[in-house]
Amino acid sequence: MYGLDFVKPGVKPGQVILAVDLTVAGSIEVVLGSIESLGYTPKIRHISYPSGVHVLAVLKDEQHQTVEDDYLIEEWQQLLSVVSSKAVHLWRGQAQPLANA
């Protein structure tokens, strides 16, 4: 039996995840083909929402010290040209404020 790695809901500070929710994206073969034609090699993961388990094609999962507000916006917009907007997710964790010394 093949197990899917788990993605936790939400992101950690500095984490950036670009993913496509295959559960709501339409034909999986077509969507994965479109994603791969853009040069991505997706990693298949699952996430548990209150509404149920969803399967994601994770395209980027990165950790940064700081994340610019527009980081990966162009890639997100490019995905929207080939995948339904309800399926494309760009999650960026905000940096934690430094505690006063």
pLDDT for 44-93, tens place per residue?
998 887 888 889 999 999 888 877 778 888 999 999 999 999 999 988 87
pTM of the model: 0.79
> What does the pLDDT look like over 1-38, one tens digit per residue?
334 444 555 677 778 889 999 998 888 899 999 999 99
Rounded Cα distance between 90 and 25, Å, is 15
Domain 11-92 architecture: 2-Layer Sandwich (3.30)
Q: Residue written as tokens 């500095």?
A: 14
Domain residue extents for the chain: 11-92
Contact 11, 62 (CB under 8 A): no
